[in-house]
Structure 1
Amino acid sequence: MPRYSIDGIDLDIPLHCLNDNLKQQLQNEHYEWKEVNGLKRHLKKGDRVLDLGGGAGYIAIQAARIAGAGNVATVEASAEMVQAIGRNLVLNHAEAVRVLHGAVVPDDFSGGSVEFDVKPAFWSSAIAVGPRKGAAQRIKVPALRLSDLLHAFEPNLVIMDVEGAERDLARQDWPLMVQLVIMEIHPQTYPPAGIQEIFDGMSKAGFAYMPWGSRGNLVVFQRLPGKGMGC
Structure 2
Amino acid sequence: MDQKRLIALASGALEREEFILAKRYFNKDDRIMEFGCGLGVAAARLIKAVQPASIICFEANPLAIEYASVLFSNNNMNVNLLQGALGDGSKKNFYACNDYILSSFDEPSEHQNYKKIEVATFELSDLIHRHKPNAIFCDIEGAEQHFCDPHKMENIDKVVIEFHPEVYGKAVLKQLSKAFIDADFQLRETLKQTYFFERTA
The percentage of aligned residue pairs carrying the same residue is 23
> How many angstroms apart in 1 are the aligned matches of 2:169 and 2:158?
25
TM-score (norm. length: structure 2): 0.89
Partner AA of 1:102 in structure 2: G
Superposed, 1:190-229 pairs within 5 Å as 190-211=168-189, 214-225=190-201
> How many angstroms apart in 2 are the aligned matches of 1:114 and 1:220?
29
TM-score (norm. length: structure 1): 0.78
Contiguous gaps of at least 5 residues in structure 1: 1-17, 226-231
Pick closer, same or farther for the CA change 1:19–1:145 going to 2, 3 Å. Answer: farther
From 113, 125, 130, the equivalent of 2:91 is 113
From 42, 45, 67, the equivalent of 1:84 is 67
Give the equivalent residue in structure 2 for 1:100: 82
Contiguous gaps of at least 5 residues in structure 2: none
From 116, 135, 139, the equivalent of 2:117 is 139
> How many angstroms apart in 1 are the aligned matches of 2:116 and 2:142?
16
Give the equivalent residue in structure 1 for 2:4: 21
From 138, 147, 155, the equivalent of 1:169 is 147
Secondary structure in structure 2 of the residue aligned to 1:173:
helix
Give the equivalent residue in structure 2 for 1:152: 130
What is the CA deviation profile of residues 145-203 of structure 1, one whole-angstrom value per residue up to 9, with x for unaligned ones?
A: 21122112211110111000111134452333110110111111111122022112222
Give the equivalent residue in structure 2 for 1:50: 33
**Runs of 4+ residues over 6 Å off in structure 1:** none
Q: What is the CA RMSD across the aligned residues, in angstroms?
A: 1.9
> How many angstroms apart in 1 are the aligned matches of 2:110 and 2:196?
32
| Residues 183-192 or 132-141, more deviating | 132-141
Give the equivalent residue in structure 1 for 2:51: 67
> How many angstroms apart in 2 are the aligned matches of 1:168 and 1:152?
21
Q: How many residues align?
A: 198
> How many angstroms apart in 1 are the aligned matches of 2:11 and 2:65?
24
> How many angstroms apart in 2 are the aligned matches of 1:20 and 1:73?
30
Pick closer, same or farther for the CA change 1:58–1:98 going to 2, 3 Å. Answer: same
Structure having the larger proportion of residues in helix: 2
Does the aligned pair in 2 maintain the 1:48–1:155 contact within 8 Å?
yes
